[in-house]
Amino acid sequence: MFTVALPAERAQQPVTHWRVTGWLLAAVWLFFLNIPLLAALHQAEVWRRVLGAATLVAFGVLYVLVFQWARARRQAHRGIPLGRAWTALAVLLGLGLAGIPGTGGDWLTTLVFVAAAAVFLLPTREAMAVVILAALAPPVTAMLVPAWKSEGTVVFAVVLASFAMFGVTRLAQRNAELQAAQQEIRRLAVAEERARTARDLHDILGHSLTVVAVKAELAGRLLDLDPARAATEIADVERLARQALADVRGTVGAYRGVSLAAELAGARSALAAAGIAAELPEHVPPLPAERDELFGWTVREGVTNVVRHSGARRCEIRVDPAAVEVRDDGRGPAAEPGVAGHGLVGLRERARRLDATVTVGRRPGGRGFLLRVALPAGAGERDGG
């Protein structure tokens, strides 16, 4: 009897539309109460007509309110209190029984609504018990009251309505689960985007501000000794600051890109300003865009850590089609635990997209630190590197 309620459970409809539709879907089935209502209106005595009509109206209003209340709780992913559910069913049944003087045997029609409400409100086992009792009531009462024998067809209606409401209930549950999953997906997407933005801003500003600080310190030392070079370093500070601002704007607009060649050029300048001897490749092999960007981020993160934490005198960067490596002869970032953690986390996330591995630690067999990002074996050959 409630199969047309299926559209009312679709999660994509606007909230206002659902509220109106929900009321209609709950109320439309009250049309089937016309049988006991006609029976009440044809009673010879006025009090019977009034009692029958009043109880049926109260029954219909309560049924719609209960349906809407339970439906709203399901959509809000809240459980239906068992005590309130039983109370609602008891009041519905009581109203049906109270109308017997006005409706006669036709009051049994209200059992169809009681059974459907039980399926919607109660756990499966308890709901099945109510449905069985509602289905048994017509034949049992027919034996007790011979005038009610014609109400045997109510059994079929009770069973049919219960099965229909069972389907609606399961659909409502699946819809609630789907809505919860969609909300979780949206939440995770927002969290991922925030993490990506925070990671990119850290990587950009961490590198740029480190170089700015080093160059500003160098300019301060050279101010009296070599004013011309100090002015050059200050000009570099201004250029780097403007570039950092452009990178931040690009990150916010999602237009910024990182390339290996540009990062190697920036690394040469940063290492020179920090007084660290640099051994960098003169040429880089042609690389796919995603790998070029990953290797660029690796050089940026590695050089930032060398300048900021290592205390190194020499830094070496090696690049081949399948790997990039940044190594130094200093103490490495372990001297300041956790300082470089965010950058390395972001680098690992980027490497994971290409199934690349990130190696961080002491250089084997010697003093210094090593950062290496390598793609799976054979990746360079597959790309023609």
DSSP secondary structure letters along 62-77: HHHHHHHHHHHHHHTT
pLDDT, one tens digit per residue, over 352-381 is 889 999 998 887 766 788 999 999 876 655
Q: If you average pLDDT over residues 262-280, what whole number do you get?
A: 87
* Bridge pairing between strands 277-279 and 314-320: parallel
pLDDT, one tens digit per residue, over 143-187 is 888 777 655 578 888 888 788 777 777 776 777 677 777 777 777
Residue 211 lies in a domain: no
Indicate if 176 and 263 belong to the same structural domain. Answer: no
Indicate if 138 and 49 belong to the same structural domain. Answer: yes
Whole-number pLDDT of residue 324: 94
Given a cut of 90, is residue 250 above it in pLDDT? Answer: no
pTM for the predicted model, two decimal places = 0.47
Indicate if 283 and 374 belong to the same structural domain. Answer: yes
Residue 282 lies in a domain: yes
Give the chain's domain count: 2
Residue 20 lies in a domain: yes
pLDDT-based confidence at residue 20 (cuts at 50, 70, 90) = low
Mean pLDDT, all residues of the chain: 78
End residue of a domain, out of 161, 184, 207: 184
Exposure of 322 by Cβ count < 10 A (0-12 exposed, 13-18 middle, 19+ buried)? buried
Look up the CATH number of the domain holding residue 377.
Answer: 3.30.565.10
Residue 82 lies in a domain: yes
Tell me the sheet residues that pair with 358: 373
**Lowest mean pLDDT, pick from 15-24, 48-57, 120-129, 151-160:** 15-24
pLDDT-based confidence at residue 62 (cuts at 50, 70, 90) = very high
Given a cut of 90, is residue 323 above it in pLDDT? Answer: yes
End residue of a domain, out of 184, 217, 235: 184
What percent of the chain is modeled with pLDDT above 70? 76
Residue 174 lies in a domain: yes
Nearest one of 46, 144, 136, 62 to 95, comparing CA atoms: 62
Indicate if 159 and 13 belong to the same structural domain. Answer: yes
Phi, psi of 364 (to 5 degrees): -65, 130
**Which structural domain, as residue segments, surrounds residue 296?**
258-385
pLDDT, one tens digit per residue, over 97-111 is 999 998 888 888 899
Given a cut of 60, is residue 140 above it in pLDDT? Answer: yes
> Cα dihedral sign for 244, 250, 252, 257?
negative
Separation between Cα atoms, residue 210 and residue 342, nearest integer Å: 15
Residue 240 lies in a domain: no
Residue 217 lies in a domain: no
Amino acid, single-letter form, for residue 129: A
Indicate if 44 and 164 belong to the same structural domain. Answer: yes
Whole-number pLDDT of residue 13: 45
